A and B are shown apart, each in its own frame.
Chain A
Amino acid sequence: MNKFEYAPAPESAALVDIKSQYGLFMNGKFIAAKAGKTFTTINPATEEVLAKIAYAELADVNLAVTSARNAFTKVWSKMPPAERGKYLFRIARILQERSREFAVLETLDNGKPIRETRDTDIPLAAAHFFYHAGWADKLSYAGHGANPKPYGVAAQIIPWNFPMLMLAWKIAPALATGNTVVLKPAETTPLTALLFAEVCQQAGLPAGVVNIITGDGATGSHLVNHPDVDKVAFTGSTGVGKAIAKAIAGTKKSATLELGGKGANIVFEDAAIDEAVEGIVNGIFFNQGHVCCAGSRLLIQENVQDEVLEKLKNRMNLIRIGNPMDKNTDLGAINSAAQLSRIKDLADSGDIEGAMRWSPNCTLPSSGFWYAPTIFTGVSQSHRIAREEIFGPVLSVLTFRTPQEAIDKANNTPYGLSAGVWSDKGSRILWTAKRLRAGVIWANTFNKFDPASPFGGYKESGWGREGGRHGLSGYLKGQY
């Protein structure tokens, strides 16, 4: 078959104005870190330095929490809920207006394809604000009591895989329910959060309601442990999530945690195979597999294994890897050198433990961090690549004979975030969905997100839900 060649179709980096240096955003203004320390953020596709970022230490964290507390007591908690909602509507609209700028900046800082930031991350982030804006004056209808109350100051820590979308998942419900926030974006992807701070200024959001502090794990730890924080919201690894749970054990702090996953994607013999293959590809290669709910364990019914794998490999041969700013790119850069080395380490363990590796023939760019889309067949449940979250474009393929075996294998993990089911039979889909111990089940689809749809995990994938009516409870007192 002749391969289609695509002419380059790059988005322009000039759409966004990146400053050489960024301060911390607190009390409505950008200020330098007290000790003056900075770190750099780079474009993972090229390793070029994008900007210098202020590094927040304990003194800065204290200032940010004070700013959030003052805004909570003096302004935000006194504001009529309908007015609070109007600020969120404003933010949603400004995000829509400036969506192209945000998409470009996200792609530059994160390495994910512009097609994804443009079509998924940024529109969904705006939708989250629009959705939650409407809740602000309707909380008494949400099933959380007649007069639900916010906690106060929410400390929010988000990962690098969906920087702007995770920001929206955190800030929108927190503000809608009447909390003020101190948010720390990930060390490798701070830029869209800092641009969001400008949006808050444009929206006229009262000073201190949203504070953005940048730094690393130590900054996050200061924030979580700050005595004047009422609520902690964290998205990231299960290891850090457990450490947070332990750190707040003796306090009155409430927490929601969105942690790791090892999602099973189950393909039954009666599935529409071509559609399932699209779903498998989307399930594991969307966002380079940097997705906590990725379908990273493919469970194929044994009698259709050959057909599914052949079609999957054909489809993988068509994945376009390279410049994330190119509108035709499917698979972008791995977010950091550290993450690339974790992926390599885990994938290498697949070779060592006896699984069979396959990748399409593809050329990876010479600079930046890259990993070819990879599948492992002959994976057994005890292999590390079947148990541990790889958080990269690496798929482990297992097989099953009976539906019960599929369920047993799918549930054989301490995680419980997502799962997929592919079948043409309604009763079988519902039977399977009922037995899967996971918070989000995609049936004949995968990796779909919506502000109205609760998201979150069973077991060690976390505490609580984000999105929908259920997501509000994490920010209202007395719900947990």
Chain B
Amino acid sequence: MRIDVMKTYKLFINGSFPRSESGRVYEVKDAKGKFLANPCLGSRKDLRESVVAARTAHHGWSSATAFNRGQVLYRVAEIMQGRSDQFVAEIIAQEGATPISAKTQVQSAIDTWVWYAGWCDKIDSISGSTNPVSGPYYNFSIPESLGVVAIFADAKPSLLNLVASLAPIIASGNTAILIANEKNPLCAITLAECISTSDVPAGVVNVLTGKFDQFISWAGAHMDIDGIDATGVSKGELTELKELGAENLKRIYSFSELQSTKRMTNFMEVKTVWHPIGI
């Protein structure tokens, strides 16, 4: 008889897997009430360090060529494909999903990476423009990444919702702090492990686990977070996020469609450049 090796689920900050600075964990049980894991109870300091990592990584990631970003996103899909079984097992345990629906979810998540990978070098053409102004000026508008975006993803389907939020945000050149859903956090950590082996530069994606309500007040009030994907929060939590976020006019949005260009463009800023035409 062999005893299985259990996994320690850790945070993912700036390309490494530290335990929480708080030294605390919380218990997650499977759908049948059996012990699953002790993920980290992420602290405010963990969030702050993630923001620093994400901010530092933003310049390099947003100025990487779109073709390069597309290849990196596609690489995440490749790595996830190889680890499908692990995701399927976690989804079955966490969500109480059937093997078939868990497998479908993993496949959809992988295909979502592929969909957004292909958008990296196209979104600018679709959402930018040249503008026919009345005068001798060349005038064009291009979308640029917003900066650092925090993500509160929905509990179910856990993996697919994570990917549907994360992929578009980094496809458009933002860096991200993914707050794993409190109830179903395991896929988020496994996703971080895929990301860390997919040529995604350190700091571009950071993953935290812990209490949703705490992260909502910390992230909402953090002055160096530019945007929030609030798809996974309740109505009351959304109000709190928006009230706190007003202090630095965070861009806060929720989405219903899994694949949508709005998931990219809402976290982009349009820059318009004028230059005279002459000799």
Contacts and interface: CB of A to CB of B under 8 A. Distances in A.
Interface of A: 127, 143, 238, 241-243, 245-246, 248-250, 257, 259, 414, 416, 429, 433-434, 438-445, 448, 450, 452-456, 458-460, 462-463, 465, 468-470, 479-480
B239 interface: yes
A452 B246 CA distance: 29
Nearest to A460: B249
Main secondary structure on B side of the interface with A:
mixed
A152 to B, nearest CB: 20
Contacts of A465: 270
A470 B270 contact: yes
Contact of A444 (B132, B266, B270, B275): B275
Contacts of B242: 245-246, 248-250
B274 interface: yes
Contact of A441 (B135, B226, B248, B271): B271
26 contacts: A245-B245, A249-B242, A249-B243, A250-B239, A439-B272, A440-B271, A440-B274, A441-B272, A442-B274, A443-B274, A450-B131, A450-B134, A450-B135, A450-B139, A452-B131, A452-B132, A452-B134, A452-B139, A453-B133, A453-B274, A456-B270, A459-B248, A460-B248, A465-B270, A468-B141, A480-B266
B127 A143 contact: yes
Given A245-B249, A414-B248, A439-B269, A450 B275 contact: no
B129 A469 contact: yes
A453 B249 contact: no
A349 to B, nearest CB: 24
Contact of A429 (B131, B251, B275): B275
B137 interface: yes
Contacts of B226: 459
A439 B270 contact: yes
A433 B272 CA distance: 9
Given A450-B135, A469-B129, A242 B246 contact: yes
B246 A454 contact: no
Contacts of A453: 131, 133, 139, 141, 272, 274
Contacts of B137: 445, 448
A458 B274 contact: no
A452 B133 contact: yes
A441 B270 contact: no
Contact of B249 (A242, A433, A439, A444): A242
Given A439-B272, A453-B139, A480-B253, 19 more contacts: A127-B134, A243-B246, A245-B245, A245-B246, A433-B271, A434-B63, A439-B269, A441-B271, A443-B273, A452-B132, A453-B133, A453-B274, A454-B270, A454-B272, A458-B271, A463-B251, A465-B270, A469-B129, A480-B266
